[in-house]
């Protein structure tokens, strides 16, 4: 009992900068600490992504003291940088393994350009009931992502595509699989995506409710097969 009381007092009074010793520096960097380890903030944070470091902006957190007894610190975080946000519970598993619970992310679609040379625009919102990641690869997941105001930045200007949703499910030991549907917009997309480790597969049917923009048709013809309903996009590769 005395040990538990001591642990609670330590977490409540320890300075916020000690959080830096609980997270791997090669995955997450924090600076400008205020508050305590239990409840604090950092004025600047960055997280490692496959395409480089991503800015999270100002981060506030609340550490669940009981999680330290399980040697898996659980932290409720709220990170904001302009219109970008990330909030929910993060569980530090150790090494490069992390768990996420009731986690929401809102980022500019320009982030995609760090992973692939695609001139895309809009906002990406993802909500995960749960997500487990190790060494940058998902192990299990249940969630949904929405691409709002999707657009193609063509040489002739910004071309609106529409709004799209992607449901994501992954059982332990299986690949991450997603189903794409169109919510609204002039360009329709439906099909499946899959991520197995760092290997990805995309199989989409792309069409339009009216005449498709000639520039978009030309761009799609470089990577998709023309079919009677529009285009068939099949891509395979590694992140």
68, 71, 77, 79: CA torsion to nearest 10 = 130
pLDDT for 4: 52
Domain boundaries, the chain: 1-74, 96-239
Grouped pLDDT means (10 residues each) for the chain, 239 residues = 53 72 77 88 85 85 80 89 93 86 92 70 95 89 96 87 96 92 96 91 92 88 90 88
Structure confidence at residue 176 (pLDDT) = 95
Supply the DSSP symbol for 218: H
User: Residue 210's pLDDT is what?
Assistant: 83
DSSP code for 89: E
Question: Which among 215, 232, 214 is positioned nearest to 223, based on CA atoms?
Answer: 232
- Nearest CA-CA partner of 62 in 80, 87, 29: 87
- Give the per-residue pLDDT at 225: 93
How many helices (H) and strands (E) the chain has is answered by: 2, 14
What pLDDT does residue 65 have?
75
Q: Which helix (H) or strand (E) holds 215?
A: helix 214-221
């Amino acid at each position: 009992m005395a040990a538990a009381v001591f642990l609670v007092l330590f977490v409540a009074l320890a300075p916020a900068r000690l959080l830096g010793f609980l997270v791997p520096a090669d995955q997450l960097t924090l600076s400008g600490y205020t508050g305590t380890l239990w409840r604090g903030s950092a004025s600047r944070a960055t997280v490692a992504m496959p395409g480089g470091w991503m800015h999270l902006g100002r981060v506030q957190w609340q550490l669940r003291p009981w999680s330290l007894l399980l040697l898996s610190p659980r932290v409720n975080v709220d990170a904001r940088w302009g219109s970008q946000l990330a909030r929910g519970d993060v569980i530090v598993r150790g090494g490069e393994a992390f768990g996420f619970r009731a986690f929401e992310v809102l980022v500019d679609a320009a982030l995609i350009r760090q992973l692939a040379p695609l001139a895309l625009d809009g906002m990406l919102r993802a909500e995960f009931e749960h997500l487990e990641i190790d060494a940058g690869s998902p192990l299990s997941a249940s969630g949904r992502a929405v691409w709002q105001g999707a657009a193609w930045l063509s040489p002739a200007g910004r071309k609106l595509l529409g709004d799209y949703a992607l449901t994501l499910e992954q059982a332990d030991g299986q690949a991450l699989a997603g189903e794409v549907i169109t919510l609204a917009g002039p360009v329709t997309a439906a099909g499946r995506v899959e991520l197995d480790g760092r290997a990805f597969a995309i199989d989409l049917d792309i069409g339009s409710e009216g005449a498709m923009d000639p520039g978009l048709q030309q761009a799609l013809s470089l990577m998709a097969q023309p079919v009677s309903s529009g285009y068939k996009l099949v891509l395979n590769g590694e992140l």
